[in-house]
Amino acid sequence: MKAVRVSFEESESVRKKLLFDSALDKTRKLVKKNGFIEIPVTESFDEFEFTIVEQDSPEYYLQKQTLVSSLNIPVSEKKLLPRGWNILGDIVIVTLNERLEHRRKEIGEALLCLYPGCKTVLLDRGISGQMRQPMREIIAGNGTETIHKERGCLYMLDAMRIMFSQGNLAEKERMSKLGRNETVVDMFAGIGYFSIPMAVHSKPKKIISIEINPVSFYYLKENIKLNKVGDIVESVSGDCSKLTPRNVADRVIMGYLDGQEYLPHGIDALLPGGILHYHEAVPEAVENRPVERIMEASGIQGRHAHIMSVRRIKKYAPGVWHVVVDAIIK
Ligand SMILES: C[S@@+](CC[C@H](N)C(=O)[O-])C[C@H]1O[C@@H](n2cnc3c(N)ncnc32)[C@H](O)[C@@H]1O
């Protein structure tokens, strides 16, 4: 079970932050170990700013039933059971070893019993295509629309049809502190992963949020209403290669991992001196690739890029990192 290891002095402020981010595992106790405090976190938590440890013998507030103890299946299958899952609003999302496919209904029912506040369990089989659509199946309960709360923002979504990455919390938090009084273009807005926290916490002058997937676009509009940021966020439905405005933005977010072909549009949108946040899935062997792509695309357009930072957000696949490059485009 995962925990964040911190000094005694910082433990209370980190505990409060994790609680606010819905990352605190409230079923386990804080544990003192080797002069540090271990704060229990959910299995999906993977922020780089913290030291994460695996607890061998976690301490629970109540002797909690576990997935393993609640299922009547052979020991050989119990060994294959997942050790973690994600909870989005009131929906549990779980990935299963293919040798447990025939047990999916029992596992789904057991998870629903463990989380009485949840209404549905979805089996996740990955994400596909340009529109980042999840491949999921209901294995227990019913209803797949939910409202997920994260860092003071509300996200309505249909968990069957929409992805919601919980692994880039630190990046969403960083974005939520940028953009004050600026004009921002979010070229791959999804349901508002970056636009909503930025609008709620930073209050830019305007965010133009473009999204191509009609289902995501529907929830983007719902989330603008839900978070009361209609005066800041303007939603635009369609392809950002056709709809990104030119020469208007102080800041452009390109939060699509395969978006190099859209770089000219992102650069074009920026006023001289504006800032580009360019995301890419980058194999370790070509670590400098996103920087080279920004430099090249800027040069072709007669602009100059000054690289401010390159940061790894999370592991995307073995040997491949989700990276974001910040660059000033002059
Ligand atoms: C990966 S998701 C957004 C993820 C979000 N930034 C995050 O980190 O969780 C990328 C979004 O870009 C949208 N998209 C892909 N190509 C697009 C295009 N050409 N124009 C506008 N939106 C696009 C997809 O439908 C998807 O909702």
pLDDT in tens, 78-105: 999 998 899 999 999 999 999 999 999 9
pLDDT at residue 165 in the model: 80
Which candidate, 232, 222, 231, 177, places its Cα nearest to that of 201? Answer: 177
Query: Which residue from 188, 191, 260 has its CB within 8 A of the most atoms of ligand 1, so it is best to mutate?
Result: 188
Q: For ligand 1, is residue 239 a contact (CB within 6 Å)?
A: yes
Report pLDDT digits (tens) over 121-139.
999 998 777 667 789 999 9
133 Cα: distance to centroid of ligand 1 (angstroms): 10
Same domain, 137 and 179: no
Query: What is the domain count for the chain?
Result: 3
- CATH number, domain with residue 216: 3.40.50.150
Does the residue 156 lie in any domain? no
Q: Which of 109, 143, 177 is the last residue of a domain?
A: 143
Q: For ligand 1, is residue 168 a contact (CB within 6 Å)?
A: yes
Residue 320: how many CA atoms within 13 Å on its side-chain side? 9
Q: For ligand 1, is residue 170 a contact (CB within 6 Å)?
A: no
* Exposure string over 69-94, b if 16+ CB within 10 A, otherwise e: eebeeeeeeeeebeeebbbbbbbbbb
Q: Which of 143, 177, 205 is the last residue of a domain?
A: 143
User: Quick one: pLDDT band at residue 256, thresholds 50, 70, 90?
Assistant: very high
Does the residue 148 lie in any domain? no
259 Cα: distance to centroid of ligand 1 (angstroms): 9
- CATH number, domain with residue 120: 3.30.300.110
User: Quick one: pLDDT band at residue 193, thresholds 50, 70, 90?
Assistant: very high
Same domain, 21 and 95: no
Same domain, 27 and 101: no
Does the residue 61 lie in any domain? no
Q: Which of 108, 143, 178 is the last residue of a domain?
A: 143
DSSP state at residue 284: G
pLDDT at residue 62 in the model: 61
Q: For ligand 1, is residue 128 a contact (CB within 6 Å)?
A: no
Q: For ligand 1, is residue 132 a contact (CB within 6 Å)?
A: yes
Per DSSP, what are the bridge partners of residue 309?
Answer: 326
Same domain, 205 and 249: yes
Same domain, 6 and 71: no
DSSP state at residue 244: P
Quick one: 251 exposed, middle or buried, by C-beta within 10 A (0-12, 13-18, 19+)? buried
Does the residue 184 lie in any domain? yes
Which candidate, 246, 256, 300, places its Cα nearest to that of 277? Answer: 256
User: Quick one: pLDDT band at residue 26, thresholds 50, 70, 90?
Assistant: confident
Higher pLDDT, 103 or 167: 103
Element (H, E) at 65: none
Same domain, 180 and 276: yes
Q: For ligand 1, is residue 130 a contact (CB within 6 Å)?
A: yes
- pLDDT above 90 covers a percentage of the chain that reads 77
Atom of ligand 1 nearest to the CA of 191: 27
Higher pLDDT, 45 or 85: 85
Does the residue 27 lie in any domain? yes
Atom of ligand 1 nearest to the CA of 165: 9
Is the pLDDT confidence value at 235 over 80?
A: yes
Same domain, 276 and 181: yes
* Closest residue CA from atom 9 of ligand 1: 165
301 Cα: distance to centroid of ligand 1 (angstroms): 24
Is the pLDDT confidence value at 63 over 60?
A: no
Same domain, 74 and 22: no
Does the residue 207 lie in any domain? yes
- Let me know: does 306 contact 330? Beta carbons within 8 Å: yes
Cβ neighbors of 89 (< 8 A, separation 6 or more) are: 146, 147, 148, 149, 157, 159
Is the pLDDT confidence value at 192 over 80?
A: yes
Mean pLDDT rounded to a whole number for the chain: 93
- CATH number, domain with residue 15: 3.30.70
Does the residue 158 lie in any domain? no
Rounded distance, CA 312 to CA 33, Å?
29
Does the residue 161 lie in any domain? no
Domain that residue 12 falls in: 2-54
Same domain, 175 and 224: yes
Rounded distance, CA 186 to CA 193, Å?
10
Same domain, 74 and 207: no
Same domain, 31 and 79: no
Rounded distance, CA 47 to CA 247, Å?
35
Same domain, 172 and 302: yes
- CA gyration radius for the chain? 21
